Structure 1
Amino acid sequence: MSECKLDHTHEDVQKKYESQKPFLPEDMVPLFEAFFAKEHTQDILNEVFHLLKKYDLASKEEKGERTSRLYMVLRNL
């Protein structure tokens, strides 16, 4: 994934999540619900946005890495 200099809002992340939700593991849904119920730092918002970006188009290997990173972030907030 390339680094992006844009800061993504809570709403940006939520829209990206909604577009990628059908491709994410089902057990990740409650983790995202808890995520969106709280405020987060800009770094966390940007990281989650970029992990979700084009998730559906990622290779199997890349998708696995992103899934692991998403679980790590979502479970440790």
Structure 2
Amino acid sequence: MSECKLDHTPEDVQKKFEQQRGFLPEDINPLFQSFFQQEHTQDILNEVFHLLKKFDLASEEERTERVNRLYLVLKNV
């Protein structure tokens, strides 16, 4: 994934999640619901956004890596 210079808002992240929700494992949904009820640093928001970005177009291997990273981030915020 390339570096992006844009800062993404919580609303951006939530919208991206809604777009990619059908491609994510079901058991990650409660973690996202909890995530959206909290405030997060800009770095965390940007990271989650970019893990979700074009998730549906990623290879199976890339999806697995992104999901693992999402679990790590979402369980530790």
**TM-score, reference length from structure 1:** 0.99
Where does residue 73 of structure 2 map in the other structure?
Answer: 73
Once the two structures are superposed, the pairs formed by residues 1-77 of structure 1 within 5 Å of their partners are: 1-77=1-77
CA-CA distance at 1:34 after TM superposition: 0.1
- What per-residue deviation string (whole Å, max 9, x for no partner) do you get for residues 20-65 of structure 1? 0000000000000000000000000000000000001100110010
Secondary structure, counterpart of 2:19 in structure 1: helix
* Corresponding residue pairs, total: 77
Separation (CA, whole Å) in 2 of partners of 1:24 and 1:63: 9
| Aligned amino acid, residue 8 of structure 1 | H
Of all paired residues, the percent bearing the same amino acid is 74
| Aligned amino acid, residue 28 of structure 1 | I
| Aligned amino acid, residue 45 of structure 1 | L
| Aligned amino acid, residue 74 of structure 1 | L
**TM-score, reference length from structure 2:** 0.99
